[in-house]
Amino acid sequence: MVKGKGRNEKEKGRKTHWQAQGPLFTLPLEIRNRVYEECIGGYTIHISTIDAYHRMSHTRCKSSLATLSSKNCACGFLARQQGVADEWGNTSLVHLLATCRRIYTEAVVVFYGKNTFTFSRIGPLVSHLLNIPPQRIPVMRSVKWKMFVGAEEWCTEKPWLSCRKRELRDGGKVAEEAGCACFECWPKEVRSDTRAQDWLRYCLLMRTVEQKK
Helix, strand or coil for residue 159? coil
Helix axes 101-113, 29-40, angle to 10 degrees: 60
Q: What is the per-residue DSSP string for 27-59?
A: S-HHHHHHHHHHHH-S-EEEEEE-STT--EEEE
Percentage of residues in the chain having pLDDT higher than 90: 13
Question: Angle at CA 109, nearest 5°, toward 20 and 50?
Answer: 115
The helix/strand count (H/E) of the chain reads as: 9, 4
Under the banding of pLDDT at 50, 70 and 90, the label for residue 181 is: low
pLDDT digits (tens, 9 = 90+) for 44-62: 888 877 766 567 777 888 7
Helix, strand or coil for residue 196? helix
Residue 91 to residue 83: CA distance in whole angstroms: 6
Whether 180 has a pLDDT exceeding 60, the answer reads no
Whether 201 has a pLDDT exceeding 80, the answer reads no
Q: What is the mean pLDDT of residues 86-111?
A: 83
Residue 89 to residue 79: CA distance in whole angstroms: 19
For residue 48, report the phi and psi dihedrals to the nearest 5 degrees. Answer: -150, 175
Pairing of strands 116-119, 142-145: parallel
Whether 207 has a pLDDT exceeding 90, the answer reads no
Q: Which of 200, 53, 25 is nearest to 122 (CA)?
A: 200
pLDDT value at residue 106: 94
Whether 202 has a pLDDT exceeding 80, the answer reads no
Q: What is the pTM of this model?
A: 0.63
- On the CB side of 200, CA atoms within 13 Å amount to 8
- On the CB side of 108, CA atoms within 13 Å amount to 15
pLDDT digits (tens, 9 = 90+) for 128-175: 777 788 778 778 888 888 877 777 778 776 554 456 566 555 554 444
pLDDT digits (tens, 9 = 90+) for 1-43: 334 444 454 555 556 566 666 888 989 999 999 999 998 999 8
Pairing of strands 44-49, 56-60: antiparallel
pLDDT value at residue 32: 95
Whether 76 has a pLDDT exceeding 60, the answer reads no
pLDDT value at residue 105: 92
